[in-house]
């Protein structure tokens, strides 16, 4: 049989498309499965959890597992703590990094580049070296088990300052010059020119910072010992210890409490967040 080159080409193209879908689908299932499994486990009865091979859907959906999980520990309080500390951390982080970014982008100063490099160098230092010294500092300030203890050591955000500086520098000089001719000082130029024009990047930065602070575990773990000061991830980790003796279905339900706010953000702003990573190479 004579081969039709165009038909062969189309056939091989279809095969390769199917193969691509197959590979991507397999990867998607492997990455997505733990989340699905978390949800399925969270709505099972204790008997249904302890079966092998496992069942894929419970006979009766046990939504009340979420209520039970919520009541094993003060999750309402954990939520409030997480919202306050993440919210304050994000707000203060944005403010301090916007000021620094504006200074490095627009204010003329002889040693500006030196200080900029100095700031970037601080980004290379691993935060782990600071755990013990920061704990000692906070203990001296009597800030253990306080919101400021959780928030303040992590306000300074070099990456945010760097990102905003890059953005401020893309704003045309003519806009800055016009504001200067109108007699505005640096503060007003930042508030009325630079920041309003940087809303997209500010939005992306806000979401990154929020997610990062919402998920934080090590520092809030160290700096809180009282149950009512725990943030959500610390509280979640705590109920896994033997004294709570709760089953996998309740643990998974409680894990979902931690994930929900971030999942909502991710669902709504998924494209913005991924493109931000791809273009800005944000630290993951």
Partner 1 sequence: MALFSRKRTVHSMTIREKRDFHAFVGFTAPTFILLGIFILWPIFYSFYLSLFKWNMISPKKTFLGFQNYQDMFGDPVFWLVVKNTLLMAFFTVIVKMAISLYLATQLNKKVKGSSVYRAIIFSPTFTANVAIAMVWAWIFEPTFGLLRVVLKPLGFPMIDWIHSTSHSLPAVIIVLIWSGIGYDMVLFLAALKNISLEIYDAALVDGANTYQIFWRITFPLVSPTTFFLLITGFINVLKAFDIVRIMTEGGPLNSSNVVVHFLYQNAFQWFRTGYASALALILFVFIMFITLIQNRLSKRWVHY
The yes or no reply on residue 7 touching partner 1 (CB under 8 A) is no
Q: Please tell me whether residue 195 adopts helix, strand or coil conformation.
A: helix
- Find out whether 174 and 189 touch, Cβ atoms under 8 Å: no
| Cα–chain center distance at 267 | 13
Site for partner 1 in 158-177 (CB under 8 A): 158, 161
Q: Binder to partner 1 among 154, 165, 230, 250 (CB under 8 A)?
A: 154
Contact 220, 230 (CB under 8 A): yes
Stretch that binds partner 1, among 36-44, 58-66, 70-78, 166-174 (CB under 8 A): 36-44
- Interaction between residue 8 and partner 1 (CB under 8 A): no
At a CB cut-off of 8 Å and minimum separation 6, what does 55 contact? 44, 48
Phi-psi category of residue 246: left, alpha or beta, with phi > 0 → left and psi -120 to 50 → alpha: beta
Asked if 134 touches partner 1 (CB under 8 A), the answer is: yes
Helix axes 248-280 and 5-42, enclosed angle (nearest 10):
140
Tokens read off for 212: 């990062």
Lay out the site mask for partner 1 across 183-222 (x = CB under 8 A, - = otherwise).
--xxx-----------------------x--xx-xx---x
User: In the set 11, 12, 14, 24, which binds partner 1 (CB under 8 A)?
Assistant: 24
Sorted by sequence, the CB contacts under 8 Å of residue 119 that are 6+ apart come out as: 100, 104, 158, 161, 162
Q: Which residues, 226 to 245, sit near partner 1 by CB under 8 A?
A: 232-234, 236-237, 240
Helical ranges in 61-74 per DSSP H: 64-72
Nearest of 181, 185, 262, 180 to residue 216 by alpha carbon = 262
Are the C-beta atoms of 122 and 158 separated by less than 8 Å?
A: yes
Out of 140, 142, 226, 283, the residue judged to bind partner 1 by CB under 8 A: 283
Indicate which single residue of 1, 6, 31, 60 sits in contact with partner 1 (rule: CB under 8 A): 31
Q: From residue 246 to residue 265, what is the string marking binding to partner 1 with x (rule CB under 8 A)? A: --x--xx--xx-xx--x--x
Binding mask 39-78 for partner 1 (x = CB under 8 A): --x-------xxxxxx------------------------
Contact status: 150 vs partner 1 (CB under 8 A): no
Q: Which of residues 97-126 bind partner 1 (CB under 8 A)?
A: 97, 99-100, 102-104, 107-109, 112, 115, 118-119, 122, 124-126
Measured from the CB atom, the residue of 80 and 222 that comes closer to partner 1 is 222
């Amino acid at each position: 049989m004579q081969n039709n080159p165009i038909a062969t080409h189309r056939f091989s193209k279809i095969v390769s498309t199917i193969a691509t879908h197959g590979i991507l689908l397999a990867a998607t299932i492997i990455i997505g499965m733990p989340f699905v499994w978390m949800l399925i486990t969270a709505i099972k009865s204790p008997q249904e959890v302890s079966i092998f091979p496992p069942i894929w859907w419970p006979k009766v959906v046990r939504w009340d597992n979420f209520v039970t999980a919520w009541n094993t520990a003060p999750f309402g309080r954990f939520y409030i703590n997480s919202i306050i500390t993440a919210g304050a951390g994000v707000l203060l982080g944005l403010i301090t990094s916007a000021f620094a970014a504006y200074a490095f982008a627009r204010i003329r100063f002889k040693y500006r580049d030196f200080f900029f490099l100095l700031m970037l160098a601080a980004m290379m230092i691993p935060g782990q070296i600071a755990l013990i010294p920061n704990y000692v500092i906070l203990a001296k300030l009597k800030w253990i088990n306080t919101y400021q203890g959780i928030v303040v050591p992590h306000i300074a955000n070099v990456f945010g300052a760097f990102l905003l500086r890059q953005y401020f520098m893309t704003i045309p000089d003519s806009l800055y010059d016009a504001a200067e001719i109108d007699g505005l000082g640096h503060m007003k130029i930042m508030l009325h020119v630079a920041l309003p024009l940087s809303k997209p990047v500010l939005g992306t930065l806000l979401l990154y910072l929020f997610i990062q602070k919402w998920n934080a575990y090590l520092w809030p773990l160290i700096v809180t010992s009282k149950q009512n000061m725990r943030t959500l991830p610390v509280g979640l980790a705590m109920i896994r210890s033997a004294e709570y003796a709760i089953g996998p279905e309740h643990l998974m339900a409680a894990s979902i409490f931690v994930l929900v706010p971030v999942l909502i953000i991710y669902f709504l702003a998924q494209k913005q967040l991924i493109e931000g990573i791809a273009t800005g190479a944000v630290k993951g």
